[in-house]
């Protein structure tokens, strides 16, 4: 699929299967989300530019690669996107964070915004938008609309599960935004849930159901 990177690493697939299981506890679900966040962060940053610098080891002076100063913003879509944040920050502790608060209107399935706060220099940074579930794609589109209005110029989207409908919506509205996902499931049900999916990611992560 154009613009979609399927992260099929065995560790990611194994952890995702445990999370899908209805018997997975809230605690395990949250821990696994955090671990997968870290693994997805590894994949989404795979092509960050490197620069050479001089390093003196105990034995010799060499030219060695370091990150070329590309600065990141992690942008979790509240609330389920928070599940990835700690894992990603463990890998890139200097990243800034933009919070995008959206909920889904259960009748229209449209995204309703209730909070937005992003760093002032977002235009100079690579923005990684994160939400475990790319279902209708309406929240992802609304979040990216707002991030672009705030100045974001380079954006990537990371999720755990995607529905074909959500991918089509996001790619149509924001063709410049590539998607990283651990799986593409079959379809959406009438309530906008991904099938087979894993249920409501926020409820399962925070134990609210
Ligand atoms: N949000 C979720 O948490 N789960 C879905 O299946 C769809 C949207």
Q: What is the pLDDT of residues 34-73, one digit of tens each?
A: 999 999 999 999 999 999 999 999 999 999 999 997 799 9
Beta bridge partners of 184: 162
Atom of ligand 1 nearest to the CA of 203: 3
Burial of 10 (0-12, 13-18, 19+ CB in 10 A): exposed
Q: What is the pLDDT of residues 21-34, one digit of tens each?
A: 999 999 999 999 99
Decide: 122 in ligand 1 pocket, CB within 6 A. no
Closest listed residue to residue 17, CA positions, set 202, 187, 196: 196
Q: What is the pLDDT of residue 209?
A: 84
Q: What is the CA(167)–ligand 1 centre distance, in A? A: 14
Where in the chain are the domains? 5-45+70-206
Q: What is the CA(201)–ligand 1 centre distance, in A? A: 6
CATH number of 5-45+70-206: 3.40.50.2020
Decide: 80 in ligand 1 pocket, CB within 6 A. yes
């Amino acid at each position: 699929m154009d613009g979609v990177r399927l992260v099929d690493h065995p560790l990611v697939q194994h952890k995702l299967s445990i999370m899908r299981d209805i018997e997975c506890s809230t605690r395990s679900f949250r821990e696994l989300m955090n671990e997968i966040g870290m693994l997805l962060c590894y994949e989404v940053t795979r092509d960050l530019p490197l620069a050479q610098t001089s390093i003196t080891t105990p034995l010799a002076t060499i030219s060695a690669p370091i990150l070329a100063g590309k600065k990141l913003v992690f942008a979790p879509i509240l609330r389920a996107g928070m599940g990835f944040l700690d894992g990603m920050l463990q890998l890139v502790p200097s990243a800034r964070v933009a919070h995008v608060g959206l909920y889904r209107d259960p009748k229209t399935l449209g995204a309703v915004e209730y909070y937005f706060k992003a760093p002032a220099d977002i235009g100079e940074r690579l923005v990684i938008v994160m939400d475990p579930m790319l279902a209708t794609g309406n929240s992802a589109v609304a979040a990216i609309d707002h991030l672009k209005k705030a100045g974001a110029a380079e954006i990537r989207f990371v999720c755990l599960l995607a529905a074909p409908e959500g991918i089509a919506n996001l790619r149509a509205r924001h063709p410049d935004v590539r998607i990283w996902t651990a799986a593409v499931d079959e379809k959406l049900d009438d309530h906008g849930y991904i099938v087979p999916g894993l249920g409501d990611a926020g409820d399962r992560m925070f134990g609210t159901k």
